[in-house]
Homo-oligomer: A and B are copies of this chain.
Amino acid sequence: MDPIHLNYTHSLSSTVGEDHGASPEELAGLAPELQRAQQAIEARRTQDLRWLDLPYQSDVLQSLLRYAESVQGQFENVVVLGIGGSALGNRALHTALNSPLHELYPPPGVPRLFVLDNVDPDWIGEFLDRVDVTKCLFNVISKSGSTAETMSQFLIFRRLLIERLGEARHREHIVVTTDAKAGVLRPIVEQAGYTSFVVPDGVGGRFSVLSPVGLLSSALLGIDIGSLLAGAADMDQRCQSTSMEQNPAMTYAALQWIMQERKGKNIAVTFAYGHRLRDLADWYAQLLGESIGKRCTTKGPAHGVGPTPVRAVGVTDQHSQVQLYVEGPNDKWFTLLEIGTHDHKVPIPADFQDRDALAYLGGRDLGELFQAEREGTRIALSDANRPNCSIHFPRVNAHTLGQYLYWMEYSVALMGELYGIDAFDQPGVEAGKIAAYALMGRTGFGDRAKEIEARQQGPQSEV
């Protein structure tokens, strides 16, 4: 089976001009820094970057498969209570590998998946009104156990399960993925006797899709998680090369850095040509945005770096965003996710052949039209000197997805070194959390609450 690969012909100065494309010299010039970056990352593989070894966790794989087998057929619905890195990978794997109509027509014995990654009362309230919780398995995911959204949901659904099923039986409906020892959830798990899985140390939320965080719901939905990890391991091998020409993570990281820091492309569009790949773009948006979107103090006290990720879906967004992409500001770098062979073939009937606007469609199939439109868009972007590249999936399956996920994780880790920031923290989310705690009246945040209240008395500009 062909591996997934990158075609970056149309990100080069030879095709889109030197103002917008990378020259061979610019790429080659980054090789020494990328090799140092790779060494720095590999040196942390057994230290604080344990996510690098997730492809090889065969014990965990076996225990996930055993658990999934033990509950097979028992639940109509798997409900993920998680947010951010505890939700985006789960959804992306499900929508890429299962039917887009899975929830309406689940295969016999396979549960539906709900990923409740919000606390909007209009969503959770509807869920409570409509779905029978006694037919659900709730997968609570939070490493620390202090995530406000996930823990609120846990409190709500746990109480409801106890009311409906009693203290003893409610346990069968909750499975927890959390820290091995620390945090708020682990003691609750031990006291209640919930089945649980571990978010290992050295695996941050946005690098956790190949841990039990992303694998458990996948296993419950029948996704071949062994093949997913095997694909990731294959990509890890390719990422060990010290040659940029052989190492797709190095090349992708180099291109992203050049595009933003040398060519002024502040926006990174993941243009998913495939309805099934749309949620991969959201997964990558967190990985890129939260890892690289940082204050870079070496460039000034408040200097912010990092591309802004944008998701587009082909061919759909040709009728929404391509006008802007082709004629608007040349401030974007495009990564097209392309599929070699689709799983379905849908012929177009050759009716109304006397009408010019329809005749060329008849006798072809939707896959041909889809690919022609994708190529048409790529050509239009390139002709307008909008730099773009393609990530080619020979097919969409667990193995190619494993390759993609690991590739992007490794690339973003390398980007962190090029940008000169810490790709693994998220200090910028603290201020909002503290203000929310203050507004919720959490103990210890009273002073902040008073400051906020004082400020909100000020004059408002409204229309």
Contact = CB atoms under 8 A, between A and B. Distances in A.
A131 B101 contact: yes
Contact of A356 (B85, B292, B435, B443): B443
Contact of A443 (B286, B359, B372): B359
B101 A366 contact: no
A293 B346 contact: no
A33 to B, nearest CB: 18
A104 B102 CA distance: 11
A321 interface: yes
B361 A155 contact: yes
A328 to B, nearest CB: 3
Contacts of A171: none
A248 interface: yes
Interface stretch (A62-70, A121-129, A195-203, A222-230): A121-129
Contact of A322 (B7, B309, B372, B432): B432
Interface residues of A, number: 151
Contacts of A347: 156
- Which of A99, A346, A441 counts the most chain B CB atoms within 10 A? A346
A110 interface: no
- Which of A12, A128, A184, A429 counts the most chain B CB atoms within 10 A? A429
Given A366-B120, A369-B148, A440 B361 contact: yes
A5 B461 CA distance: 11
Contact of A122 (B276, B285, B320, B436): B276
A35 to B, nearest CB: 15
Interface in A144-158: 144-146, 148-149, 151-152, 155-156, 158
Contacts of A358: 151, 155, 184
Contacts of A251: 463
Contacts of A129: 344
Contacts of A331: 266, 308
A461 B420 CA distance: 27
B365 A121 contact: yes
A120 B275 contact: yes
A56 interface: no
Interface stretch (A40-48, A211-219, A379-387, A398-406): A379-387
Interface string A308-330: 11100101101111111111111
Contact of A328 (B6, B244, B305, B452): B305
Interface string A283-307: 0011001101111000000001110
A29 interface: no
A419 to B, nearest CB: 11
B320 A155 contact: no
Given A304-B330, A323-B429, A331-B266, A130 B99 contact: yes
A169 interface: no
Interface string A355-379: 1111111101111111111011101
A360 B443 contact: yes
Given A372-B439, A439-B376, A184 B119 contact: no
Nearest to A115: B316
Given A294-B323, A322-B432, A323-B429, 4 more contacts: A83-B315, A119-B370, A158-B349, A306-B328
16 contacts: A83-B315, A84-B319, A99-B126, A100-B127, A101-B130, A121-B345, A121-B367, A128-B346, A290-B323, A293-B325, A293-B327, A305-B328, A308-B329, A310-B310, A323-B427, A380-B432
